[in-house]
Structure 1
């Protein structure tokens, strides 16, 4: 199979292009795509438990710790004891972090609006159906079964 016809190649190449685009934009604001992603996943009013952020974003704890430390040094977040769980820590946004979060949110909205101007709603719906099916197949361990099924999900 030619790599250009491979579904995983198309997904990977597209994601790399999107990540590069977002990182180039984030650099203009002394940030990274990963930091922007964290900002967008923190509850802006209540904060978010640090232990919930990694799984919520599909990020390894070591990577997340490094990003959180950098964000704290830049003044975008602060840590506070979780009043519901004395052992836990809430990650909260500073005013500066809220500002950065809004900038990140606007970039995501602009990306989505631009795509919607060039791709029909029907095709976008199909895209989400396809990615949902791929995720379900992966989660149910059906990709590398010994007897592949041609049954559609």
Structure 2
């Protein structure tokens, strides 16, 4: 193996480790704020998306969050058991399941939204650095060729 190949593997491993570490850190940063609300980090992401507007289909919600049905369905079932959402069949298309917020989830909306500001403060990055990081991660998670496929 050439030195160039070793260096490429090293950078690829460093990216993998850095992303894994960052994902773990961000989940741990949220935990003390989410535990009192009875939410896990993935449930928090679902709730943020639902606060943007409901009803939402399971498929649309999963697509927006980058979660497949096998991942999002158990999350939604737990949120339903906790009284945070309802899941009902779409009367116009029985294949679709629609998600709605409950009064309990609406009651904690401001507390859930406040977590974002607490995390932003804990990151100790200015708005420009946070925006650049977000854009880099979004471009990594959804390369341009995938975005073009989604449009067609």
TM-score using structure 2 length:
0.71
Task: Please say if residues 44 and 112 of structure 2, whose CA atoms lie closer than 8 Å, have aligned partners that are also in contact.
Answer: yes
The offset of 1:7, in angstroms, is 2.7
Which residue of 1 is the match for residue 140 of structure 2?
A: 134
Which residue of 1 is the match for residue 118 of structure 2?
A: 110
Which residue of 2 is the match for residue 69 of structure 1?
A: 77
Q: Distance in 1 between matches of 2:135 and 2:77?
A: 37
TM-score using structure 1 length:
0.71
Q: Structure 1 105/73 Cα, relative in aligned 2: closer, same or farther at 3 Å? A: same
5+ residue gaps, structure 1: 142-153
The offset of 1:99, in angstroms, is 2.4
Task: Please say if residues 44 and 93 of structure 1, whose CA atoms lie closer than 8 Å, have aligned partners that are also in contact.
Answer: no
5+ residue gaps, structure 2: 1-6, 147-152
Task: Please say if residues 29 and 119 of structure 2, whose CA atoms lie closer than 8 Å, have aligned partners that are also in contact.
Answer: no
Q: Structure 1 105/7 Cα, relative in aligned 2: closer, same or farther at 3 Å? A: same
Q: Structure 1 51/20 Cα, relative in aligned 2: closer, same or farther at 3 Å? A: same
- Can you list the C-alpha shifts for 1:61-97, whole angstroms capped at 9, x where unaligned? 1221111111111111112343553442210000101
Count of residues in Structure 1 that have an aligned counterpart in Structure 2: 137
Going by fraction, where is helix more abundant, 1 or 2? 2
Q: Where has structure 1 moved over 6 Å in runs of 4 or more?
A: none
The offset of 1:12, in angstroms, is 1.7
RMSD: 2.8
Q: Distance in 1 between matches of 2:122 and 2:29?
A: 13
The offset of 1:15, in angstroms, is 1.3
Q: Structure 1 9/88 Cα, relative in aligned 2: closer, same or farther at 3 Å? A: same
